[in-house]
Copies of this chain bind each other. A is one copy, B any other.
Amino acid sequence: MQDLDIDSTTKAVLEQMALTTDPRLREIMEAAVRHVHDFAREVKLTPEEWLKGIGFLTAVGQMCTPYRQEFILLSDVLGLSRLVNLMHDSQGRDEAATETSLLGPFFREKAPEIALGGSIISAMKGEEIVIFGQVTDPAGHGVAGAEIDVWQTDAEGQYDLQANDPSVMDMRGRLRCDAEGRFHFRTEKPVGYSIPMDGPVGALVRQQSRHGFRPAHIHVLVAAPGHRELITALYFGDDPHIDSDTVFGVSASLVITQSAGLEGNPLPNLPGIRYDFTLSPASDGAGGRVGSDPSKLMPTG
């Protein structure tokens, strides 16, 4: 019988997992065990602290519903989502292509189709703006018929999913670019918003003296055959939290500023913001969706 000690326990666990059939699962779980054990040894985790951690993770899991994904939120506020996003971006994204951002937990398939120039907001409460631009390849050629999904909060900082009613689809839409890859749509200027602070992740963020806010942004997913799916977001540079996003999603190249009457605005009576998206060529291992519709992550049965 092996008498385990503080160091040999790790080896014993790795040995017991050594027959894992899937080599990638084995690699991931071996690294996970090593890092979790190193963490516990480094901080000299006590039984009481371990139990608190178990209670915290249990509460995170129990907070998940088809409309809310508290584990993604935890990953977000610990910077893990952004890290995974950056690693994906470093593999196969063309240098000239638009940087990516987090998909987040509010993307939904099959948003309402919107004609070019249409509005994604059913009842405008905030400032109406027009977002316009062109989808191109790295050489600058327009991508005809590229499909764009956009989604955002309402003027109170809430996504439709937060209504917890699957029949509500609002502040989101799908549009198809024209033959030159050009697009424009109307929306209301989103506001910065707090992550949900009424769950265990919010409690942690509060204990960390963090404000819990994300700067105002519009999520964008661009897809076209032959091109790598682009998941990104446009961040409003005038938001007070543009430099301190609680989920670390902002990149300088994704910051937009509003300029009324900007050249090329197809609806010049509205304040317009131009942003052009550049797609990478399609590559293996694309699908950088760092986020998910929460209902897809609920265990079945």
Contacts and interface: CB of A to CB of B under 8 A. Distances in A.
A261 B40 CA distance: 45
Contact of A78 (B22, B36, B51, B57): B36
B200 A20 contact: no
Contacts of A1: 242-243, 250, 252, 255
A21 to B, nearest CB: 6
Interface string A174-196: 00000000000000000000000
Nearest to A237: B1
Interface residues of A, number: 93
Given A20-B208, A82-B9, A297 B46 contact: no
Interface stretch (A69-77, A155-163, A267-275): A69-77
Given A39-B35, A290-B47, A58 B299 contact: yes
Interface in A259-301: 285, 287-290, 292, 297-299
Contacts of A22: 207
Interface string A200-224: 1000100111100000000000000
Interface in A1-43: 1-6, 9-10, 12-13, 16-17, 19-22, 24-29, 31-33, 35-43
A60 B58 CA distance: 8
Nearest to A300: B59
Contacts of A54: 69, 71-72, 75, 292, 297
Contacts of A255: 1
Contact of A71 (B38, B58, B204): B58
Nearest to A11: B79
Given A81-B50, A287-B48, A31 B37 contact: no
Nearest to A249: B4
Interface stretch (A86-94, A123-131, A136-144): A86-94
A230 B36 CA distance: 26
A226 interface: no
A246 interface: yes
Given A4-B251, A290-B50, A12 B207 contact: no
A80 interface: yes
Contacts of A40: 80, 83-84, 87
Interface of A: 1-6, 9-10, 12-13, 16-17, 19-22, 24-29, 31-33, 35-51, 54-55, 57-64, 69, 71-72, 75, 78-88, 90, 200, 204, 207-210, 242-244, 246, 248, 250-253, 255, 285, 287-290, 292, 297-299
